[in-house]
């Protein structure tokens, strides 16, 4: 009787992307057919991520001049022809320069449109203003919708983004929005650490993350628990109760954004009080100001894992803050969009988390 061989199947979205290598050396673009070509450009918000994507695609970043005049205005000029090209612009507006980054992206889109680009795609791993997705109080704007309208008015044809704060943001657009997720990366990270199966509980820090936490628990073969919270004011979170069995288990909190860390710190304290042995946390977007690093370092959290959708200074971040790269997922998504292939196939259809 012959023995059957077992093959390890990687989690959806974690397959190794083979770089597309030109015959001689890296060029400025990827050719498709007699006229189509992929050109990748970067704004000034996260150039390291753009470099990683370009390297995986086997091309060089396009040459674009970006500068800020003495009066604060932004100047943009593409230093090479983009006529007829599929132009991808990588920009994750964040931090104290979020508005400058956003306007720079709009200007780059307009410049590419006026230069006769065939199709313009904004690669925005972090979508700015995504937490302002509804009216929570009278006389408030829905700023996420405004950002969507600005992008479309500038002339963008498509948006690639990752782990949106709320699913309805996709409905603010009348153009295609490709939604990616870093969830498989986090699952693989914890599996590599042996944090899976019995003794592990995935925790949703608020009801809005319940569906994602359920998917996270399934992928880790873990139990699930839920928390409720209130926000007495902006950037302040207070945990009310824990629903689910966490006593004697290792808890892993999953969220989309970390800013001040208030939600995760309060959740970790509540989980410890409920009997959890250790508390880990992961979030796709680490929008962490330097002032919050000390609080996170002193918290009950054993480890905080984020992705590099926005840059985090490696010299200032605490040792317990880990950063996972999302460049492979982004590079493969860019390649599939350019080739008119399925984006959801990269995640085996598991990227609809809302």
CA-nearest of 93, 95, 113, 114 to 105 is: 93
d(Cα 248, Cα 159) in Å, to the nearest integer? 43
d(Cα 99, Cα 60) in Å, to the nearest integer? 27
Six-digit token string for 226: 């839920």
Write out pLDDT tens, residues 2-45: 444 555 556 554 555 555 554 555 677 787 654 479 999 999 99
Query: Are both 30-181+328-344 and 183-324 of the same fold?
Result: yes
Write out pLDDT tens, residues 179-212: 999 999 999 999 999 999 999 999 998 887 888 9
Six-digit token string for 79: 């230093």
Per-residue pLDDT, 10 = 60
Whole-number mean pLDDT of the chain?
Answer: 88
Report domain extents, the chain.
30-181+328-344, 183-324
DSSP per-residue codes, 137-177: STT---HHHHHHHHHHHHT--EEEEES-S-GGGGGG-SS-E
Is 215 a residue of the active site? no
Q: From the candidates 113, 135, 193, 229, which is the catalytic residue? A: 229
Q: Which residues of the chain are under the pLDDT cut of 50? A: 1-4, 13, 22, 34-35
Per-residue pLDDT, 314 = 87
d(Cα 119, Cα 141) in Å, to the nearest integer? 30
d(Cα 197, Cα 326) in Å, to the nearest integer? 25
Q: Which CATH number fits domain 183-324: 3.40.50.2020, 3.20.20.140, 3.30.1220.10, 3.40.50.300?
A: 3.40.50.2020
CATH second-level architecture of 30-181+328-344? Answer: 3-Layer(aba) Sandwich (3.40)
Per-residue pLDDT, 28 = 78
Per-residue pLDDT, 207 = 80
Instruction: Give, in order, the Cα–Cα distances in Å from 136 to each of 42, 74, 214, 238, 258.
Output: 34, 33, 26, 18, 20
Per-residue pLDDT, 22 = 46
d(Cα 204, Cα 115) in Å, to the nearest integer? 46
CB within 8 Å of 153: residues ≥ 6 apart: none
Per-residue pLDDT, 90 = 98
């Amino acid at each position: 009787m012959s023995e059957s061989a077992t093959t390890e199947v990687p989690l959806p979205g974690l397959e190794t992307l083979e770089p597309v290598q030109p015959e001689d050396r890296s060029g400025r673009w990827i050719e498709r057919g007699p006229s189509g070509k992929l050109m990748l450009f970067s704004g000034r918000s996260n150039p390291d991520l753009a470099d990683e994507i370009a390297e995986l695609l086997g091309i060089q970043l396009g040459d674009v001049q970006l500068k800020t005049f003495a009066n604060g205005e932004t100047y943009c000029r593409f230093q090479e022809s983009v006529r007829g090209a599929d132009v991808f612009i990588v920009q994750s507006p964040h931090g104290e320069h979020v508005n400058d980054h956003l306007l720079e992206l709009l200007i780059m889109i307009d410049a590419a449109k006026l230069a006769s680009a065939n199709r313009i795609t904004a690669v925005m791993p972090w979508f700015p203003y995504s937490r302002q997705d509804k009216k929570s109080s009278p006389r408030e704007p829905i700023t996420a919708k405004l950002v969507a309208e600005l992008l479309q008015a500038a002339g963008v044809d498509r948006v690639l983004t990752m782990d949106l704060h709320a699913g309805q943001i996709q409905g603010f657009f009348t153009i295609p929005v490709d939604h990616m997720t870093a969830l498989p990366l986090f699952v693989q990270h914890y599996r590599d650490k042996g944090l899976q199966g019995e003794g592990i509980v995935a925790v949703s820090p608020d009801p809005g993350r319940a569906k994602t936490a359920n998917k996270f628990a399934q992928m880790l073969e873990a139990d699930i628990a839920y928390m409720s919270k209130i926000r007495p004011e902006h950037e302040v979170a207070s945990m009310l109760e824990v629903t689910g069995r966490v006593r004697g288990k290792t808890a892993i909190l999953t969220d989309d954004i970390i800013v001040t860390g208030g939600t995760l710190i309060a959740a970790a304290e509540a989980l410890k009080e409920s009997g959890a042995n250790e508390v880990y946390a992961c979030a796709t977007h680490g929008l962490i100001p330097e002032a919050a690093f000390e609080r996170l370092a002193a918290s009950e959290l054993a480890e905080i894992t984020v992705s590099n959708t926005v840059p985090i200074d490696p010299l200032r971040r605490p040792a317990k803050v880990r950063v996972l790269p999302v460049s492979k997922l982004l590079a493969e998504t860019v390649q599939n969009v350019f080739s008119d292939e399925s984006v959801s196939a990269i995640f085996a259809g598991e990227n609809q988390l809302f």
